[in-house]
Each structure stands twice: as C-alpha cells, then as structure tokens.
Amino acid sequence: MSGHNKWSTIKHKKAAVDAKRGKIFTKIIKEVTVAARLGGADPNANPRLRAAITAARGANMPKDTLDRAIKKGSGDLDGVEYIETTYEGYGPGGVAVFVEVMTDNKNRTVGDLRFAFTKSGGNMGMDGSVAWMFERKGQIVLDFEGKKVDEDAIMMTALEAGAEDVERDGDRFYVTTAMGDLYAVRDGLDAAGYTIEDAALARVPSTMAPCDAALTRQVVKLIEALEDNDDVQKVFHNADLDESALDG
C-alpha cells in the first residue's frame, strides 16, 4: 500500500510560492518548537526534532531562525506555547478530511476551519467521524531532482531499513513505513546518502472517494484553504483526484 496520492505532487509545485509567503517557515517553526518542548533540544536524542530540522534545512530556513525555534521550545527563550490538536470533517462530495493543527488559540482556529469547510460545501464533523478511515503511517520523501537514479538500489535500501512500500513520482520517491519505524528507516536512508526532503507521520486512507474533474477542483479549493491557514500543519483526505483537473 502507499501513502502517496496525486495531491502530494501539487503540494510540491506550490511549495516555493508558499515559502515566499512565509507559510512553510511558519509551519516548520511550530513543529520544531513543539518537538523541542516534548523531546528536548538534542536532535540526536529526539527523532521528531531531527526530522523537523531536516524539513527546515530543506526549506532553506536560516540557521538563526531554526536555532531560535529550538530554544523557544526547550525553554531557553520565551515563546508561545502551541497546542497540538486535530479536526475532522467532510468536504464536497463526502470526501473525508482530517486536519492536524498547532495553535495558540483553539477558538480562532476552529472558527476559521469551520468557515473553510462550509464555504466549500462541506461540514466539520465530531471527533472520530472520519479518523477511522485513516491509518497512521510514516512517510519519507526522497528528492532526486536533476540526479541519476538507481531505482532498484533505492527500493532495496528502503526495504532493508524496514520500509513497507516505495513509490516513484517523477524525481521523488515516497517511502511508506509502519508508524513506529519512521525514524529508523529515515536514518537508514540518510546513512546511505539519499537526500531526504521530508519525513513525518501521515494518515493513509483505507478507502478512496472517486472524484470527477468538477469535484476535484472543489476538493482542491478546500485543501488549499485549509493549508493556507497558519495554524494548520497537515491536511489528509481520501479523495481520488482527477489528474486532468490537477494538470489544468
């Protein structure tokens, strides 16, 4: 099975634009801060922080910005304390949507998310309304843009490190792991010299909801609206998007 879907490709295409708007930095800073608060400031002893630092470097975050986020999380500097929480709902066409959030104001966040769902023709759900459709998995993204690729070697390295699945999409490889194996597989790929763009826990849908072109465009608008919210870290869904609509 794979945790990758067509929306991942679109997200990578818009990542550079998001970074210019500061969206990527904001989300990574929150993750670094929370990871340092929960597991300490030493990345060697804190796999979650180590993964967040990798994401920060992949986004070309300045070192002083990264260091400040770590110090705020560890308590060496004063900073905002973020709450990790999740929200669930249904998008257009009954597509299941699961949203991971880090916020300092839950009332503000839930109001913003409810507005995004309602505007799209969907609705917020109760806790557990769609969570049962998603399985927690690790997902690692390897970036080989402009490089020669030995696909068999990549797959063998990932599987020997404990990965469950490897899927290629252009210059990127998406490696899926069991939830508890994420960081061990990540470290194995890193030791082999592969460029890791991202390594994080994902929520993989057990069933997909087919979408035609019109519904795909509606769902994508909802996902983009949610991801553009600074409090939203990740959005997961079970939409089987129409590739022709994505290309358009």
User: pLDDT grade, residue 185 (50/70/90)?
Assistant: very high
Q: Give the separation between CA 122 and CA 131, rounded to whole angstroms.
A: 16
Q: Give the separation between CA 46 and CA 88, rounded to whole angstroms.
A: 29
Q: Taking 90 as the threshold, does the pLDDT of residue 152 lie above it? A: yes
User: pLDDT grade, residue 1 (50/70/90)?
Assistant: very low
CA distances for 234 relative to 27, 64, 146, 154, 225, angstroms = 9, 25, 28, 26, 12
Mean pLDDT of 195-208: 90
Which of 7-11, 90-94, 214-218 shows the lowest per-residue confidence on average (mean pLDDT)?
7-11
Angle subtended by helix axes 63-74 and 47-58, to nearest 10: 150
Which of 154-158, 167-171, 222-226 shows the lowest per-residue confidence on average (mean pLDDT)?
167-171
Give the pLDDT score at 3: 47
Q: Taking 70 as the threshold, does the pLDDT of residue 12 lie above it? A: no
User: pLDDT grade, residue 14 (50/70/90)?
Assistant: low
Q: Taking 90 as the threshold, does the pLDDT of residue 239 lie above it? A: yes
Mean pLDDT of 231-240: 94
User: pLDDT grade, residue 248 (50/70/90)?
Assistant: low
Q: Taking 50 as the threshold, does the pLDDT of residue 148 lie above it? A: yes
Give the pLDDT score at 2: 45
CA distances for 12 relative to 55, 79, 169, 171, 197, angstroms = 13, 30, 11, 11, 10
* 6-74 CATH: 1.10.10.200
Q: Taking 60 as the threshold, does the pLDDT of residue 85 lie above it? A: yes
In the predicted model, what is the mean pLDDT of the chain?
89
